[in-house]
Amino acid sequence: MFKKMIAVSLAGMLAIGLAACSSEENSQASDAGSPDYPERGLTIVAPSGAGGGWDLTARSIAKTMNTTGIIEESIMVENKPGGGGAVYMAEYATKEVDNDYMLMVKSPPILINNSKAEGNSPYGYKDTTPLAQLTRDYGAIVVRADSEFQTLTDVLDAVKTDPKAVTFAGGSAPGSMDHLVGILPAFEYGIDPKSVKYVSYDGGGEAVAALLGNNADVIATDASTIGEYMKSGDVRVLAVSSPERLEGDLSEIPTFKEEGIDTEFTIWRGIFGPKDMSDTAYKYWSEKLEEMSGSEGWKQELEQNGWQSEYKNGEDFEKYLQTQEELIVELLTALDMQK
């Protein structure tokens, strides 16, 4: 019980009460975010170098939002490479970021790097606010145009004969997405995945540069990002990890299954906000991303990049991530890659 204060007038108590209510309302408004959000420019981070799937996705989102007028404030894309995305993930999860103004594009490595089996990073999707899944892509096994390898089984037979004679490369760390795309066919072919020589680079663009510079014999990368190198005649794609043949530039490329390798691998891409993102910003981005996913501008980006649309809102995306996390752990455990 509060002590009765005779000296305090009724008017005084009313004033104090009103001030307290006002203070509480202001605090709640601050927690919810500014009603005028966004009040300035926004940033989407691609936690890799230029040229890879994260970079292209971030730039496509920014371009579509601004050119269609869905978002009027300017959107800048920043590249933050390192550790197959793990370096910036640690910064995003632990440092004070501009909570409502800095978003991040990610894909399966947010689960792989944080899985109990791999454990490269203590931070995962639960240290973020999932906003939306936007696309679905697949992996590709790629060689130089002048490579002696004509088929996927040519590569696997060479690895079986002498694992150290064939260098695989990818734009993510060992145990991460490109690595899994590369060693899955080997695993299914009866090769010990730990024996496959794999070199990691910061992003798909650097992995392609390593291949073209004769620093790798084979790369595993995103199918959607390799089209321009196919058109220029620099590379050949031996197989893709999709359940069926893809359309467009890759329509003549066989799947793993067509090559006798009974496995597949899906690469989803989505966008995330910081864990303590305000309710206002979450609602804003949820609405804008849903609007973008149905726009003609976004459809053009999908076609240009060879992506398939697969939109999930924040709630559905988070549920999907929970199930995918379980599958990733099972996969890495089956590959005997647990710590």
pLDDT tens per residue across all 339 residues of the chain: 333 333 333 333 334 344 444 444 443 433 566 789 999 999 999 998 888 789 999 999 999 999 999 999 999 999 998 877 888 998 898 876 668 999 999 998 898 887 644 556 789 999 999 999 999 989 999 999 999 999 999 999 999 999 999 999 998 777 778 888 999 999 999 999 889 999 998 878 899 999 999 999 999 998 988 988 999 999 999 999 999 999 888 999 999 999 999 988 888 999 999 999 999 999 999 999 999 999 999 999 998 887 889 999 999 999 999 988 887 777 777 677 654
- CATH 3.40.190.150 holds for 42-136+267-334: yes
CATH code 3.40.190.10 region(s) in the chain: 138-259
- CATH 3.40.190.10 holds for 138-259: yes
Nearest Cα neighbor of 61 from 324, 329, 318, 298 is 298
The DSSP H or E segment spanning 136 is strand 128-144
Instruction: Cite the DSSP H helix spans in the chain.
Output: 10-32, 53-68, 86-94, 109-112, 152-161, 177-188, 204-212, 227-231, 279-293, 296-305, 314-334
CATH code 3.40.190.150 region(s) in the chain: 42-136+267-334
Structure tokens at 328: 């990733």
Distance CA 123, CA 320 (A): 18
Nearest Cα neighbor of 221 from 133, 131, 139 is 139
How many Cα neighbours within 13 Å face the side chain of 104?
A: 31
Distance CA 261, CA 82 (A): 32
Distance CA 52, CA 299 (A): 19
Q: Facing residues of 137 across strands?
A: 267
